[in-house]
Amino acid sequence: MSTPTRWAILVYGVVCYLAFHVSFVWLVLFLNDVPIVPTINSGTSRHWAAAIAINLGLVLLFGLQHSVMARRVVQASLDEDHSRARGAPHLCASDRRLPHRRLRVLVADDNGDLAL
């Protein structure tokens, strides 16, 4: 592997980890009403129907992204494109494959049977 490729993988990994930590710190500040960022209590009130519609839309968007990422074609392309920088994409995009080898996950095979 060439040196520029190694640097690109390193920079990509650092950016992913920084993005994760920044978003996590933002979440902590948001939930603890720290006035540096908009807080959980600084939002405007909405009608309950609008709030439910927004929440359902976000849940559907979350489910759509996860169902797309679970497709074999997407997983195969991730294996090909990110085989050298495997740890970093886990923080930037959902991925069923975890970097921890000791963790066991139940998955359904083609017949719908659960297996480790």
| pLDDT tens for each residue of 18-76 | 999 999 999 999 999 888 888 888 878 889 899 899 999 999 999 999 898 888 887 87
Whether 31 and 66 share a structural domain: no
Confirm whether 25 is domain-assigned: yes
Q: So what's the pLDDT on residue 107?
A: 55
* Residue 101, domain extent: 62-116
- Number of folded domains in the chain? 2
**Are residues 67 and 109 both part of a single domain?**
yes
- Give the integer Cα–Cα distance in Å for 89 and 64: 18
Same domain, 79 and 116: yes
Strands 107-108 and 114-115, sheet pairing: antiparallel
8 A C-beta contact, residue 114 and residue 106: yes
**Structural domain includes residue 79:** yes
pTM, entire model: 0.44
DSSP code of residue 110: T
- pLDDT band, residue 89 (cuts 50/70/90): very low
Given a cut of 50, whether residue 7 has pLDDT beyond it is: yes
Instruction: Spell out the residues 6+ positions from residue 104 whose beta carbon is closer than 8 angstroms to its own.
Output: 116
Which carries the bigger pLDDT value, residue 54 or residue 100?
54
- How many other β-carbons are positioned within 10 Å of the β-carbon of residue 66? 12
Same domain, 27 and 66: no
The pLDDT score that the predictor gives to residue 76 is: 79
Output the pLDDT for position 100: 47
